[in-house]
Amino acid sequence: MIDKGSEDIKPTEGKSLNFLETIIEEDIRKGKNDGRVHTRFPPEPNGYLHIGHAKSICLNFGLADKYNGKCNLRFDDTNPTKEEQEYVNSIMEDVRWLGFDWEDRLFYASDYFDQLYEWAIKLIKDGKAYVDDQPADLISEQRGVPTRPGIESPFRKRSIEENLELFERMKKGEFPDASKVLRAKIDMASPNMHMRDPVLYRILHSNHHRTGDKWCVYPMYDFAHGQSDYLEGITHSICTLEFEIHRPLYDWFLDNLIESEYRPRQHEFARLNLSYTVMSKRKLLELVKDKYVTGWDDPRMPTISGLRRRGYTPESIRNFADRVGVAKRENVIDVGLLEFSIREHLNLISPRIFAVLDPLKVIITNYPEGKTEELNLENNPEDPNGGNRIVPFSREVYIERDDFMEDPPNKFFRLGPGREVRLKGAYVIKCEDVKKDENGNIIELHCTYDPTTKSGSGDQRKVKGTLHWVSVNHAVDAEVRLYDRLFSKEFPDELENENDDFKNNLNPDSLQVITGKIEPSVKNAKHPDHFQFQRLGYFCVDPDSIPDKLVFNRTVSLKDTWAKMNK
């Protein structure tokens, strides 16, 4: 079952608020920050965004929207070794596609490098920061463990003058990478490890995607984030739970650097975890780099670009984010909820069409040769403006191979020798003969049709089964990519032993490529058109599709009785 884990608070005006809304409404009521609500979405451009980020985007932009506030897009680009313009571009595309607008509020942490540098100098001058010459592993060792005080660095007592001079020379590029760091002087005995003289600046002779070679010292995330929030006038800085323990440091920097009364305030919520999914950017990058998938936008990836290509709509993702709610405790959401959300939306918007994915030819022996009837069928019973389409019917049609059984059990309401079914929107046919090749494989069925049973003609004849079909001479061949979950294990990050790897949990059958026979109305379909292949699932046109070689992706299967019966 789905553990929402969300902690909804008492209803006001009939609708219950999540805990962040409760905090915001309380802040507004008290007139904090003059009642302003200003949030931000702060991705690091070191990979493509995933569905977890989508949750954060919907939350930050959604709260701003709800409370007449603003939401910034800020690139947290403090680590030049991992960040690229390609990622910046993809992130902007994804946020826009989800339906959100940062208007003129696009920012980069790197815009603040000068100011952050000035603030570092201020800390040094105030005796609250020092240059440490020790290597990283020694610094980390001296930090110790939370239950015992750490060891103070021998460089902790350096004079302000010496620190100023050394930091200046670090900035000028006089020292090699990792040979020195600037640390805050806080408390090596603090039970919070983040307060044990955290590193503020490190030396990195690395080209930055925006500032080029201007800098060879770069601020750490913690030294950049809260101050960036402050500079942008953020009121509610919403992040995931793992940053809760960083909050005292977030506040320490602001308290020691800023005079004004206004402060951004950090609030934490539980990150989105999904079953059958890995969500770490590092792991997703590994899948891309080592070619386990075709790219960041592989339709099996949990990235926003992958979901888009798979056929997910922005509405379905926003609805999903809404349903998940906001939790204060770690939890795992059933990926079935995401699939439910897309099914629900596609049901409303997708035209229904006939596609046969595993064709078996049916010859209707008493139907005139060369005759074609143009049947007028409804596109979408869920959409009053869905319109109609023409589907040609003729003497030879394809049906699904598993809609026929030579020796069917009683409850099989499809075709069998001597049995009748309705071809949807057309006629009732009866199976008279089964043709096989020399190996005994069924190659075609010979059937007869009853001309008095034309759909819509008022014929009341009851048959138990209705099959979809495609006229052989009119069928369009298309490549159909049948996607399934990328991982076959419910919690793919959980490893069995030291030598196990999350990639061992990849589903070997996550993609099957077949050629399908599709009704001709799809001839001019283009990405990202959506269809329901009747009785089979929801499909969309892939960007690889060209007019003479259509390519469809299965977005999600139908949850119908037919699927259940097949089990």
Footprint on this chain of ligand ATP (rule: CB under 6 A): 42-44, 52-53, 55-56, 76, 239-240, 271-272, 279-281
In angstroms, what is the minimal distance from the CB of 330 to ligand ATP? 11
Concatenating the DSSP letter of every residue in 316-334 gives HHHHHHHHH--BSS---B-
Between 60 and 153, name the residue whose CB sits nearer to ligand ATP. 60
Residue nearer to ligand ATP on the CB measure, 55 or 202: 55
Which tokens go with 273?
């975890």
Q: How far is CA 283 from the centre of its chain?
A: 14
DSSP-derived pairing of the beta strands 550-557 and 476-483: parallel
Q: Which of 99, 417 has the CB closer to ligand ATP?
A: 99
Question: Is 55 tagged catalytic?
Answer: no
The nearer residue to ligand ATP, 53 or 361, going by C-beta atoms, is 53
In the Cβ-directed half-sphere of 471, how many Cα atoms lie within 13 Å? 21
CA gyration radius for the chain?
31
Q: How far is the CB of 236 from ligand ATP (least distance, A)?
A: 12
State in angstroms the smallest separation of the CB of 468 from ligand ATP: 39
Quote the least distance from Cβ 381 to ligand ATP, whole Å.
Answer: 37
Closest CA to 359 of 285, 230, 470: 470
Q: Could you give the CA distance from residue 95 to residue 223 in angstroms, rounded to a whole number?
A: 26
Q: Which residue is nearest to ligand ATP, using beta carbons?
A: 52
Q: Which of 7, 25, 44, 444 is catalytic?
A: 44
> Which one is catalytic: 32, 271, 424, 454?
271
343 an active-site residue?
Answer: no
Alpha carbons 532 and 553: distance in angstroms, whole number: 11
Active-site position among 55, 171, 265, 281: 281
What's the min distance (Å) between Cβ of 239 and ligand ATP? 5
Only one residue has tokens 């046109």, namely 541
For CA atoms 293, 296, 298, 300, the dihedral sign is: positive
> To the nearest whole angstrom, how small is the minimum distance from the Cβ of residue 427 to ligand ATP?
52
Instruction: Measure the CA–CA gap between 352 and 330, rounded to whole angstroms.
Output: 40
- Select 235 or 448, whichever has its Cβ closest to ligand ATP: 235
> Which helix (H) or strand (E) segment is 117 a member of?
helix 113-125
Known catalytic residue: 271? yes
Residue pair 264/255 in contact by the 8 Å Cβ criterion: no
Q: What is the 3-state secondary structure (H, E, C) of 386-438?
A: CCEEEEEECCEEEEEHHHECCCCCCCCCCECCCCEEEECCCCEEEEEEEEECC
| For ligand ATP, the closer CB: 210 or 271 | 271
Q: Which residue from 156, 150, 168 is spatially nearest to 128, judged by alpha carbons?
A: 156
Report the alpha-carbon distance of residue 364 to residue 19 in Å, rounded.
64
Nearer Cβ to ligand ATP (240/256): 240
Q: Is residue 110 within 8 Å of residue 44, measured between CB atoms? A: no
For residue 152, give the nearest of 115, 116, 190, 111 by alpha carbon: 190
Which residues on adjacent β-strands are paired with residue 74? 107
> Using N-to-C axis directions, what is the helix angle for 51-66 and 314-324, rounded to 10°?
80
If residue 541 lies in a helix (H) or strand (E), which one and from where to where?
Answer: strand 537-541
Shortest separation between residue 240's beta carbon and ligand ATP, angstroms: 4
State which residue, 63 or 428, has the beta carbon closest to ligand ATP: 63
Least Å distance, CB 53 to ligand ATP, is: 5
Which residue type sits at 558? L
The set of catalytic residues is 44, 271, 281
